A and B are shown apart, each in its own frame.
Chain A
Amino acid sequence: MKSFTQHKGIVAPMDRANVDTDMIIPKNFLKSIKRTGFGKNLFDELRYLDEGQPDQDCSQRPLNMDFPLNFPRYSGASVLLARENFGCGSSREHAPWALDDYGFRAIIAPSYADIFFNNSFKNGLLPIILSAEIVDQLFSEMYASEGYELTIDLAAQVVTTPAGESFSFEVDEFRKHCLLNGLDDIGLTLQEADSIREYEERRKQQAPWLFGAIVAG
């Protein structure tokens, strides 16, 4: 996994509550067996005026010029500013894959759906929680100032505005450690293999039916 330490980037808006994972990456693009290439279909049904197809060349498709990500001023954005309950709906990791592939490194919102929140950390994408009031303020500042950038420092857990105002955010210690160092948590868990085996031995005595094998037949 790629690490996340500090990041400064242009902020783009997704100014609505309850943005669901079907909106982030519609199901017709989930048929891919790869992890990459989803960026061109991020927010597909909002971004383009036609219906998208998998493996299509999107450069020729008609753009919805009312959708902020298509505004020139948000070109190259890498921080997404959003509202409550971002990422609700399905468990598809294709949602953070698509945001990452598009170029986003961080999201700022008052709240997230649990599974999306979790999936983001596994992909070097930092979902930051700030209060609804602060998010409101950031939306106002961003709309008022073209090229608006935010600086994010994960180690210090701080978001800083162009005017130098800072907002601190909470982040789980384990997730922070993995993200700062770009650690793959499978490797970390396998360091605990002995504990897992001990647990299995104990449980097999107590509840052998839990180890019933799924068998062909």
Chain B
Amino acid sequence: MAGKTLYDKLWEAHLVKERDDGSALIYIDRHIIHEVTTPQAFEGLRMAGRKPWRVDSILATPDHNVPTTQKERASGVDGIEDSVSRIQVKTLDDNCDEFGIVEYKINDQRQGIVHVIGPESGACLPGMTIVCGDSHTATDGALGALAHGIGTSEVEHVMATQCLVAKKMKNMLIRVDGELGAGVTPKDVVLAIIGKIGTAGGTGYAVEFGGQVFLDMSMEGRMTVCNMAIEAGARAGMVAVDQTTIDYVKGRTYAPKGEQWEMAVAEWRELVSDADAQFDKVVEIDGASIKPQVSWGTSPEMVLPVDAAVPDPAAENDPVKKAGIERALQYMGLAAGQKITDIHVDKVFIGSCTNSRIEDIRAAAEVAKGRKVAANVKEAMVVPGSGLVKAQAEAEGLDKILLEAGFQWREPGCSMCLAMNADKLGNGEHCASTSNRNFEGRQGYGGRTHLVSPAMAAAAAIAGHFVDVRDL
């Protein structure tokens, strides 16, 4: 019999029941919630007179709507100027109070983006099943966990039953071997993967990222990669457990302690795919061939190395794809054949659940140190992923370096990744953004997003246009 993949092992360990019709009940260990995708789920519980099955499996924090300026944050929820946002954050507070759910509220230092605080607090651990009403929950798969986003009906279902009705996905291995070149980061790796397999390449699969590049990668780097599994169509991305994982988890607030820690580590070491495991699909990429990436279009698969030129629709034969390229060029205000390095940026955003952890901020600060944001850049902001990341960055003096260079240093939240708060692009503005989606209007009505790594975003801020960070 063939060996098991990491995903097979996680699935089997959480199988409550297999039904005759092919669906299964899967037990959920951890549920993270935020203000946008839960109000209707709580309403559903109330209407049916139901209570959470295991209230202490849930951790809440507001992130999508929260303002990031100190001024607006100063008086907490009541200080949120947008009344609709304020009501949504307040509703989360009220629901958590009513149902007895622990919430890191707006100005708690532990507040932050759901996918940053889950691993940071140790609420998300290797071997767990983790869900959240947010597609970037795949981030937590970096721990060797089965983590994925769910809709609001499923949020209600998990709260009421601690289970999900699911069907087993297929297994995909994305193996990146070799060694990354200098200036090439986890963000470039995942953008290159999406560029290769496309935004639907992983649909129906649970993806394991394997190979030397991921073995060498830090936990935060692995989180950046798993975070964008959904941009390749895969609900769940994951990396096998190794010493890097265990060292990362040790000592975190909700990590096991003492005897339980020893038991846990022994079990976690089994969270790797067996040598003879069968994958339904294997994709191989040479790590050494990956260059810093910049997205040019309105889908994450529309991405190229920084030294490339924007594609020409005339060269595309497939009519649907050709129309897609034409529409993207028009929306982005770019000409076919234009060099990526000739694209000027109006705004720079360093943050989001993809790239707002301490290593990301260090990478941005390293590029910014001793330099100045270019005059044509209207706004360059750095938004740490949590209050604890912010405090750590300040302890390292990174905020001063960034402020000195002309960047803004903000309070934690999702911010301009999806512009549900006041941080947004104006119509037609180009943004070098470390976030995860370059869809039309994503960062503001008419806004033009280019996805890049933190180092590449900082370099674009300094140059005023895209540049190869390796040339600085």
Report A's interface with B, CB cutoff 8 A.
Answer: 16-18, 20, 22-23, 26-28, 30-35, 45, 51, 54-55, 83-85, 88-93, 96, 111-115, 118-119, 122-123, 172-174, 177, 185-186, 189-190, 192-193, 195-196, 199-200, 203, 207-210, 212-216
Task: Name 10 interchain pairs, CB-CB below 8 A, sorted by A.
Answer: A16-B327, A17-B324, A30-B36, A35-B43, A45-B441, A51-B446, A91-B150, A119-B152, A173-B23, A174-B22
Known: A35-B40, A174-B19. A210 touches B29 (CB 8 A): yes
Pairwise interchain contact B161-A196, C-beta atoms closer than 8 A: yes
Report B's interface with A, CB cutoff 8 A.
Answer: 16-17, 19, 21-23, 25, 27, 29, 36-37, 39-40, 43, 48, 50, 53, 56-59, 64-65, 82, 84-85, 87-88, 91, 102, 123, 125, 127-128, 133-135, 149-154, 156-157, 160-163, 165, 167, 199-200, 203-204, 230, 233, 235, 254, 256, 260-261, 263-264, 267, 299, 320-321, 323-324, 327, 418-420, 427, 437, 439-442, 445-446
Pairwise interchain contact A123-B149, C-beta atoms closer than 8 A: no
Q: With A and B bound together, what is the CA distance between A66 and B58 in angstroms?
A: 46
Q: Closest residue of chain B to A184, judged by CB?
A: B48
Known: A33-B88, A45-B441, A210-B127. A174 touches B165 (CB 8 A): yes
Among A51, A90, A196, A215, chain B packs the most CB atoms within 10 A around the CB of A90
Q: What residues of chain A lie closer than 8 Å to B125, measured between beta carbons? A: 209-210
Pairwise interchain contact B21-A173, C-beta atoms closer than 8 A: yes
Q: What residues of chain A lie closer than 8 Å to B167, measured between beta carbons? A: 172
Pick from B39, B157, B256, B427: contact of A212, CB under 8 Å = B256
Pairwise interchain contact A118-B154, C-beta atoms closer than 8 A: yes
Q: Closest residue of chain B to A198, judged by CB?
A: B16
Known: A93-B151, A115-B151. A209 touches B264 (CB 8 A): yes
Pairwise interchain contact B441-A213, C-beta atoms closer than 8 A: no
Pairwise interchain contact B153-A122, C-beta atoms closer than 8 A: yes
List 3 A-B pairs, minimum CB-CB distance, nearest first.
A213-B56, A33-B39, A209-B256
Pairwise interchain contact B235-A196, C-beta atoms closer than 8 A: no
Pairwise interchain contact B200-A16, C-beta atoms closer than 8 A: no
Known: A115-B235, A174-B21. A45 touches B200 (CB 8 A): no
Q: With A and B bound together, what is the CA distance between A194 and B209 in angstroms?
A: 36
Output the least CB separation between A208 and chain B (Å). Answer: 6
Q: What residues of chain B lie closer than 8 Å to A28, measured between beta carbons? A: 420
Beyond A23-B440, A174-B21, list 20 extra A-B contacts (CB 8 Å). A27-B418, A28-B420, A31-B82, A31-B420, A89-B230, A91-B37, A91-B134, A91-B151, A92-B37, A93-B151, A113-B203, A114-B233, A172-B21, A195-B17, A196-B27, A199-B27, A200-B27, A207-B264, A209-B264, A210-B127
Q: With A and B bound together, what is the CA distance between A91 and B131 in angstroms?
A: 11
Q: What residues of chain B lie closer than 8 Å to A192, measured between beta carbons? A: 16-17, 25, 163
Pairwise interchain contact A17-B321, C-beta atoms closer than 8 A: yes
Output the least CB separation between B457 and chain A (Å). Answer: 21
Pairwise interchain contact A177-B445, C-beta atoms closer than 8 A: no
Q: With A and B bound together, what is the CA distance between A85 and B267 in angstroms?
A: 38
Q: With A and B bound together, what is the CA distance between A23 and B48 in angstroms?
A: 32
Q: What residues of chain B lie closer than 8 Å to A51, measured between beta carbons? A: 427, 445-446
Q: With A and B bound together, what is the CA distance between A45 and B103 in angstroms?
A: 34
Output the least CB separation between A120 and chain B (Å). Answer: 9
Known: A51-B445, A89-B439, A189-B161. A207 touches B151 (CB 8 A): no
Q: What residues of chain B lie closer than 8 Å to A26, measured between beta carbons? A: 441, 445
Q: Closest residue of chain A to B26, judged by CB?
A: A199
Q: With A and B bound together, what is the CA distance between A186 and B47 in angstroms?
A: 13
Output the least CB separation between B158 and chain A (Å). Answer: 10
Pairwise interchain contact B23-A174, C-beta atoms closer than 8 A: yes
Pairwise interchain contact B153-A88, C-beta atoms closer than 8 A: no
Pick from B36, B157, B230, B263: contact of A186, CB under 8 Å = B157
Q: With A and B bound together, what is the CA distance between A212 and B27 in angstroms?
A: 15
Pairwise interchain contact B102-A113, C-beta atoms closer than 8 A: no
Pairwise interchain contact A210-B21, C-beta atoms closer than 8 A: no
Q: What residues of chain A lie closer than 8 Å to B327, measured between beta carbons? A: 16
Q: What residues of chain A lie closer than 8 Å to B102, measured between beta carbons? A: 214-216
Q: What residues of chain A lie closer than 8 Å to B445, measured between beta carbons? A: 26, 45, 51
Output the least CB separation between A115 and chain B (Å). Answer: 6
Pairwise interchain contact B25-A196, C-beta atoms closer than 8 A: yes
Pairwise interchain contact A93-B152, C-beta atoms closer than 8 A: yes
Q: What residues of chain B lie closer than 8 Å to A32, measured between beta carbons? A: 84
